Structure 1
């Protein structure tokens, strides 16, 4: 994975990198179906061990329609991140428009007690079916 052009954000020592990819082979523009994958790397730069318990996403299409998605963990896991460690995963989302934007957060429980809410940077979902990137 090339992280050079990733969307990046750090919150309280937790760095989140996102690389979105348009999936032309799974999309059906003639049926208003546009599919993206996104690869995420979470790096714990803090001195505390933490576990990712929940995720929250706001997915907005080009028409301004926003869907909020919340759930436990990511891709069926609740990864434990020791200091200096990272976790990567890939997921995806469909849209009915050729572009959109996603933003969100992770709720991370500290092993010593307490929580960190790590912000996921807003990232653009732009397909080649859009004249120019909107986001």
Structure 2
């Protein structure tokens, strides 16, 4: 698991290779990732947007920027969590992702960036 904490917001990531949806002959490798966001601060926060950096094993870099996560902009109370699962396609069997969430404190509207830790994506047979 990969974890980072920014201003009391903890982001943890777990990845999983999806062999059923992958096809090596077509250079398409599919990974899922589960994000767990925990508000360890004493302020209610709302996740407004995301900015992902996705880099494959050949160094090809792409970015994904958008509102919320999987169609929602969750409000997370102190001590509460928000989790979701999403996915990523790569043209190589290894790659990495990292990024930020833009959050807003509900009480005063202050916006801040929360780090999404860099995490690797690779099939489990590569770690043997």
TM-score bracket for the superposition, by shorter chain length: over 0.9
Extract unaligned runs of 5+ from structure 1.
Answer: 1-5
> Take 1:127 and 1:121, find their aligned partners in 2: how far apart are those partners?
19
Note the C-alpha offset of 1:127: 1.9
Note the C-alpha offset of 1:128: 4.8
- Residue in structure 2 matched with residue 44 of structure 1 by the alignment: 39
1:83-119: per-residue Cα shift (whole Å, max 9, x none)? Answer: 1110000000000001000001100011122112100
Extract unaligned runs of 5+ from structure 2.
Answer: none
> Take 2:91 and 2:124, find their aligned partners in 1: how far apart are those partners?
14
> Take 1:127 and 1:82, find their aligned partners in 2: how far apart are those partners?
35
> Take 1:127 and 1:96, find their aligned partners in 2: how far apart are those partners?
13
- Residue in structure 1 matched with residue 80 of structure 2 by the alignment: 85
- Residue in structure 2 matched with residue 3 of structure 1 by the alignment: none
- Residue in structure 1 matched with residue 8 of structure 2 by the alignment: 13
RMSD: 1.3
Number of residue pairs aligned between Structure 1 and Structure 2: 127
Structure 1 runs of 4+ with >3 Å offset: none
Q: Specify which of 114, 117, 124 is matched with residue 121 of structure 1.
A: 117
1:15-35: per-residue Cα shift (whole Å, max 9, x none)? Answer: 000000000010001110000
1:20-79: per-residue Cα shift (whole Å, max 9, x none)? Answer: 000001000111000000000000000111110000000000010100100000000000
Q: Equivalent residue of 1:46, what SS?
A: coil
TM-score normalized by the length of structure 2: 0.95
TM-score normalized by the length of structure 1: 0.90
Alignment of 1:103-118 (within 5 A): 103-111=98-106, 112-118=108-114
> Take 2:110 and 2:103, find their aligned partners in 1: how far apart are those partners?
9
> Take 1:39 and 1:29, find their aligned partners in 2: how far apart are those partners?
23
